[in-house]
Amino acid sequence: MDDATSVIADYRRWQRFQRQDQLQREHAAALRKLADSGAMASRVTQGYRSMADKGVQEGACYRTLFRRQREDATALACEGWLFVRRVLAEGGTTRVRATLMEGFTLEAGFVDPAQHSPNKITLEIFDEILIQRDMQLGCRIDRHDDQRDTHFVTFLDSVRGDLAKYMK
């Protein structure tokens, strides 16, 4: 019985590492696609405004990937669901007020929404110079209220309506 339990635990750990690797690759590809598109903060802000409208009307939550800096300086991709409450643009700064339900982290594995409290967060959208891309301008979305969470990529085409009850 103990051998079977150990094997199952090893298998689940392996699954978690496989998922982490998949998220790392998907996040890197999404960042490359965003950079290649030449999207600027004003265009990305429009997307977040649309998410806020759908959130109010339909309770829509959007899949988001982001990078979290660990204490050992390792940065790993995380997955979550974002309920966008409002977009504020003032004084040249654009901030997004949202609720984040984490869906996967390496430490926790898959997160059950019924057993995890969401976090109210503030994202900041800004333009940046992409040095790796011959000084091209691009857009970046970082968490304003927690410097460990950066490089958010939120997908307009990956939506759930069943999480709204947890996001209030």
Rounded CA-CA distance 19/109 in Å is 9
Question: Are the C-beta atoms of residues 30 and 141 closer than 8 Å to each other?
Answer: no
pLDDT winner (highest mean) among 92-96, 113-117, 118-122, 127-131 = 118-122
Question: Angle at Cα 76 formed by Cα 19 and Cα 86, nearest 5°?
Answer: 95
Average pLDDT over residues 62-69: 97
Read off the pLDDT of residues 4-57 as tens digits, 9 standing for 90 and up: 889 999 999 999 999 999 999 999 999 999 988 888 888 999 999 999 999 999
Question: Are the C-beta atoms of residues 121 and 100 closer than 8 Å to each other?
Answer: yes
Kindly tell me if the per-residue pLDDT of 133 is higher than 70.
no
DSSP run (H or E) holding 3: helix 2-37
Domain containing 153 equals 2-167
Read off the pLDDT of residues 75-97 as tens digits, 9 standing for 90 and up: 999 999 999 999 998 877 899 99
pLDDT of the residue at 132: 62
pLDDT of the residue at 138: 80
Binning the chain into helix, strand and coil, the percentages to the nearest 5 are 40, 45, 20
Average pLDDT over residues 55-61: 93
Residues 6 or more apart whose Cβ sits within 8 Å of residue 124: 93, 94, 95, 96, 141, 142, 143, 144
Residues 6 or more apart whose Cβ sits within 8 Å of residue 30: 65, 153, 155
Kindly tell me if the per-residue pLDDT of 161 is higher than 80.
yes
Kindly tell me if the per-residue pLDDT of 2 is higher than 80.
no
Q: Which of 88, 85, 114, 113 is nearest to 99 (CA)?
A: 85
SS3 at position 122: strand
DSSP state of 111: -
Kindly tell me if the per-residue pLDDT of 1 is higher than 60.
no
Q: How many domains does the chain have?
A: 1
